[in-house]
Amino acid sequence: MDSKAIALHLAESIDISGCRQALDKKLVYGDRDELFYSDGTLGYLYVFKYGIVSFYGFDETAISNILMELKPFCEEWRQSELTEEMEIELVSGELASKVTNNKIVLSKSNVEGMRLALLHLSQSVALDYFAGLSDQIMKETRIHTSYLEHNGKLDLGGKKLKKYIARVLNINNQISENLYIFDSPEAAWEDEYLDRLDKSLKQIFDLKERYRTIKEQGYIIKENLSLFKDIMDHRESSRLEWIIIILILVEVMDLFIMRLIN
């Protein structure tokens, strides 16, 4: 049986608790971050708190209906163009599996193998999303550093810079919280077959290298922000020094005038 698995980026985040109460499907695995469902046959649904949903074995009508069920629990619903598909073939045989660049072959009875496949497909879409955010921040940072290079000063003021720093930190926190590329699901820890499948899927989707690229960009951005903050602190310090100097001058002038009058 051949069918395409598809992962979609739907929202900024999804209320997992709300979905768990609303969805009328067989829950295979669930925690506070994700829900993995079966439709009772060979259809599977995976919902992640970071706004990604993946499907296998559902037609377009069924997918549309599920998305409408999920929509009330999505924060900043967007159903963006960030999607990824992968051919999955289900065959007979307990340990049948094969992973290539365009197809995954799994045993029909291997529910955990299907979960791994949909997990990594979803992580791949999440990487695309966070890579886009990281690239956007890198471009904005480059604009500010170029302005600093040509003008010898920052084009960001105190409040504006603080908001910019907070935005970057929030994105970095999202990446750290929602991407667990280097972690393997518990099921793969004690099962050699699932462990091999897990490693093969990570390699096919190039998850680790893409994750490292995003993290390295994050380090570069944080270094730039540290420089911006130091410049802002120096500017604030200089302003305070001038205020103190002016106050001292005013005090001296006042004392001088008082002596002249007396």
Question: Which CATH number characterizes residue 40's domain?
Answer: 3.30.310
User: With 80 as the cut, is the pLDDT of residue 10 above it?
Assistant: yes
132 lies in some domain: yes
Tell me the Ramachandran region of residue 56: left when phi exceeds 0, alpha when psi lies from -120 to 50, beta otherwise: beta
Q: Are residues 134 and 95 in the same domain?
A: no
Q: Are residues 28 and 87 in the same domain?
A: yes
Q: Are residues 100 and 129 in the same domain?
A: no
Q: Are residues 99 and 145 in the same domain?
A: no
pLDDT tens readout for residues 164-214:
788 888 877 777 777 666 566 777 777 788 888 888 888 888 888 888 888
Q: How many domains, the chain?
A: 2
b/e per residue 141-178 (b: at least 16 CB within 10 A): beebeeebeeeeebebeeeebeebbeebeebbebbeeb
222 lies in some domain: yes
Q: Are residues 98 and 199 in the same domain?
A: no
240 lies in some domain: no
pLDDT band at 96 (very low <50, low <70, confident <90, very high): low
139 lies in some domain: yes
248 lies in some domain: no
41 lies in some domain: yes
Let me know how long the chain is. 262
Q: Are residues 47 and 78 in the same domain?
A: yes
Tell me the pLDDT of the chain averaged across its residues: 82
Q: Are residues 100 and 139 in the same domain?
A: no
Q: Are residues 92 and 162 in the same domain?
A: no
254 lies in some domain: no
User: With 70 as the cut, is the pLDDT of residue 100 above it?
Assistant: yes
Q: Are residues 101 and 167 in the same domain?
A: no
User: With 70 as the cut, is the pLDDT of residue 242 above it?
Assistant: no
Range of the domain at 102: 2-108
Q: Are residues 220 and 139 in the same domain?
A: yes
The answer to whether 207 and 215 are in contact (CB under 8 A) is no
Q: Are residues 99 and 132 in the same domain?
A: no
pLDDT band at 120 (very low <50, low <70, confident <90, very high): very high
Residues pairing with 89 in the sheet: 2, 105
Residues pairing with 74 in the sheet: 14
DSSP H or E segment with residue 189 = helix 186-189
